[in-house]
Amino acid sequence: MPHTGRTSPGRQLEHPQAAQIRLESVLSALADPVRLRIVSDLAQGHEDMACISFELPVSKSTSTHHFRVLREAGVIRQYYEGTSRMSRLRSQELEECFPGLLEAVLRAQGVQV
Amino acid sequence: MPHTGRTSPGRQLEHPQAAQIRLESVLSALADPVRLRIVSDLAQGHEDMACISFELPVSKSTSTHHFRVLREAGVIRQYYEGTSRMSRLRSQELEECFPGLLEAVLRAQGVQV
DNA sequence: CGACTCGTACGATAGCTTTCGTAGTACGAG
DNA sequence: CTCGTACTACGAAAGCTATCGTACGAGTCG
């Protein structure tokens, strides 16, 4: 079994506040096949996923990079849980900032919304 | 006065067909402040605009580049009219390919949709 | 034709992106 | 404490992007 259920504090991860999320950065973050796939996977049921559970066609360090881009753009929120880093979409906040945007992108990707 | 009203054939400009428009390219095209502004301006009433009438904070050659990116991504359609190159949004086709996407982006930019 | 306007093509450059490997840190299990 | 797992940080390389200036082509007006 992975962990005991406790949420470890871990190191702090920088996230932009909802009001600081810029459209340009979000679009830029979504304009990459790997990241688009991460977002689709997150939207596809699994609310919280560790980086490892995405089977991405890139190396670990490259994954780290893509997750960081998504996080810094404000698309996902990440937190540590043991040695794993969990990710979840910031759907609600994005909906407030840019209504309909995430939904349109997901729909275009063939994800049930 | 600009021209006599005749539509000159000019040189052919390559456009992707609606079915060939890729989400990734569209997002990538929109992920730039200059291009986002072009798109907003086009949506803002002026259906057909010559490149020159956008007062962009970049040089002529850079403009050409940005218009090309938008055209090749399938976001705008361009045609020659005299010495001018007119541009218009491919709103309807985009709506068919990616419902709600353009609208969400424009709304996020503060454009009345 | 000649001059002027609008836009393109080309070449160059600086900076960013994507990618990786390697080395290291943080956590949990034993 | 030691080991394995999960992930990061750093450095490096290759490629793309945004930007420009200059030189040129296509069309219009006199």
What's the pLDDT score for residue B4? 35
CA of A46 and C1' of C13: distance in angstroms? 45
Q: Give the start-to-end residue ranges of the domains of chain A.
A: 22-108
Q: How far is CA A28 from CA A103, B15, B27, B34, B85, in A?
A: 16, 23, 7, 13, 28
Give the pLDDT confidence of A41-64 residue by residue, as tens digits.
999 877 788 877 888 999 999 999
Does the structural domain B18-108 have CATH classification 1.10.10.10?
yes
What's the pLDDT score for residue B5? 34
Give the pLDDT confidence of B24-81 residue by residue, as tens digits.
999 999 999 999 999 999 998 777 888 778 888 999 999 999 999 999 999 999 999 8
Cβ contacts of B30 on chain A, cutoff 8 Å = 27
Give the pLDDT confidence of A2-54 residue by residue, as tens digits.
333 344 445 778 899 999 999 999 999 999 999 999 999 999 877 788 877 88
**For the domain A22-108, what is the CATH code?**
1.10.10.10
* CA distance, residue A48 to nearest chain B CA (Å): 24
What would the DSSP string read from start to end of A24-41?
Answer: HHHHHHHSSHHHHHHHHH
